[in-house]
C-alpha cells in the first residue's frame, strides 16, 4: 500500500498536523544521525583494529542522515499536501498498538505465551474499533485454540506457559 507520504489528499492542514508533519518528516534522518553518532562514540572503546570500519560507516550514515533531513524538510516545505497525509495517520492508534504489544511481550514470562498473545489479539481488535462482545471474546479464543493445536501440538514449538506450569 502507498505510504501516506506517497498519497495525494487535500492541502490546508491544521497547525498541529503541520507540526506533526515536520517532526515525522525529519525522523528518519535524525535516526540516521543518532545511530551514526552513537556508533562513532562507542567505537572508541573498541580494539584499534576494529575501529576503522564502523567509523567509516558511521560517518557515511551521519552525512546521509543530514542530507536527508535537509532534503526532506525542503521538499516538505514546497509540498504542503503532505500535512494532510500525516493528518490521516491515526498516531494514537499506532502508539496504543505498540504499547499493547510491548506490555504483552513483558507479560509473556509471568502469564505464558498464549494468554499474552490472546491479549494482543483482543486488545488489537478493540483498538481497531471492534465493539461486538461476542466477536471480541470468540475470535481470540478460536484463534488461540487453533494456534495451540498448530504450534504446540503439531509443530511442537516450545511456547512458554505461565510461571509455575
Min CB(156)–other proteins separation in Å: 9
Confirm or reject binding of residue 61 to other proteins (CB under 8 A): yes
Confirm or reject binding of residue 67 to other proteins (CB under 8 A): yes
- By beta-carbon proximity to other proteins, the closer residue of 10 and 102 is 102
Closest CA to 122 of 138, 145, 146, 106: 138
Confirm or reject binding of residue 49 to other proteins (CB under 8 A): yes
SS3 label, residue 80: coil
Confirm or reject binding of residue 127 to other proteins (CB under 8 A): yes
- Choosing from 42, 73, 137, 145, the residue that interacts with other proteins (CB under 8 A) is 42
Distance CA 139, CA 124 (A): 12
By the 8 A CB rule, do 29 and 69 touch?
A: yes
Min CB(16)–other proteins separation in Å: 16
Confirm or reject binding of residue 112 to other proteins (CB under 8 A): no
23 CB contacts (<8 Å, ≥6 apart)?
Answer: none
Amino acid at each position: 500500500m502507498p505510504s501516506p507520504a506517497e498519497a495525494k489528499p487535500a492541502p490546508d492542514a491544521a497547525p498541529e498536523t503541520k507540526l506533526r508533519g515536520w517532526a515525522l518528516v525529519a525522523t528518519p534522518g535524525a535516526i540516521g544521525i543518532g545511530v551514526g553518532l552513537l556508533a562513532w562514540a562507542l567505537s572508541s572503546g573498541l580494539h584499534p583494529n576494529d575501529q576503522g570500519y564502523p567509523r567509516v560507516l558511521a560517518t557515511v550514515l551521519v552525512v546521509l542522515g543530514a542530507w536527508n533531513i535537509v532534503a526532506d524538510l525542503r521538499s516538505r516545505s514546497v509540498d504542503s499536501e503532505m500535512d494532510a497525509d500525516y493528518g490521516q495517520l491515526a498516531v494514537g492508534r499506532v502508539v496504543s498498538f505498540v504499547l499493547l504489544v510491548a506490555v504483552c511481550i513483558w507479560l509473556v514470562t509471568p502469564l505464558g505465551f498464549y494468554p499474552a498473545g490472546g491479549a494482543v489479539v483482543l486488545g488489537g481488535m478493540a483498538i481497531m474499533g471492534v465493539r461486538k462482545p461476542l466477536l471480541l471474546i470468540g475470535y481470540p479464543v478460536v484463534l488461540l485454540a487453533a494456534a495451540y493445536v498448530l504450534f504446540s501440538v503439531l509443530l511442537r514449538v516450545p511456547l512458554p506457559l505461565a510461571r509455575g506450569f
